[in-house]
Amino acid sequence: MNWQDVLNDPVLRDLPYKIELNEWGQIIMSPASNRHGMLQALLVEVLRQTQQEGMVITECSIQTAKGVKVPDVVWISADFLKQFGSMTPYPKAPELCIEVLSPFNSAAEMAEKRELYFARGAQEVWLCDEQGRLTFFDCTGRIPASRLFPGVSHIESEFLH
């Protein structure tokens, strides 16, 4: 199965799951909680308030060496947008890819996703835990703060407590 098959399949359109493809074209589904969606929305809000140029996208598909991966939130520059527009999936990773962690995610899975995004050109990957705490990475490993969004250190909302 390829990504266009997934997009065209009417049975898969309304599933309450995040869908990705592995390197063999098999569908991988992850259930998303309302808290997961809240964190996605808060990340979008924080990024939009901090960076005026570029665009924030949720559920962005990226073709990687191990199938199509779908970070929860990404930020793309105006240059990226000019080059790739709404191409689906993107052949290159956006500058920033963010994964909202759930209890189902393993450290090994997240390490692999980071590697896949960096191999496709991501500049930073963030992990957001269920309390809104952020961990930042570049291609060398963990970094103390984001260089793309230096003012962002965590997500706060009265709805997370």
Average pLDDT (36-56) is 89
77 touches 96 (CB < 8 A): no
Domains (range + CATH), the chain: 32-160 (3.90.1570.10)
8 A C-beta contact, residue 84 and residue 120: no
Query: Across-strand partners of 57?
Result: 74
pLDDT over 70 (residue 81) = yes
Closest to 71 measured CA to CA, from 50, 44, 34:
44
The per-residue pLDDT for 153 is 87
Q: What are phi and psi of 66, to 5 degrees?
A: -120, 45
Asked if 3 and 68 touch (Cβ cutoff 8 Å), the reply is yes
Reported confidence tier of residue 50, pLDDT bands at 50, 70, 90:
confident
Q: What is the pTM of this model?
A: 0.84
pLDDT at position 118 is 98
13-44 pLDDT, tens per residue?
A: 666 566 666 677 766 666 667 787 889 999 99
pLDDT tens for each residue of 92-118: 999 999 999 988 788 999 999 999 999
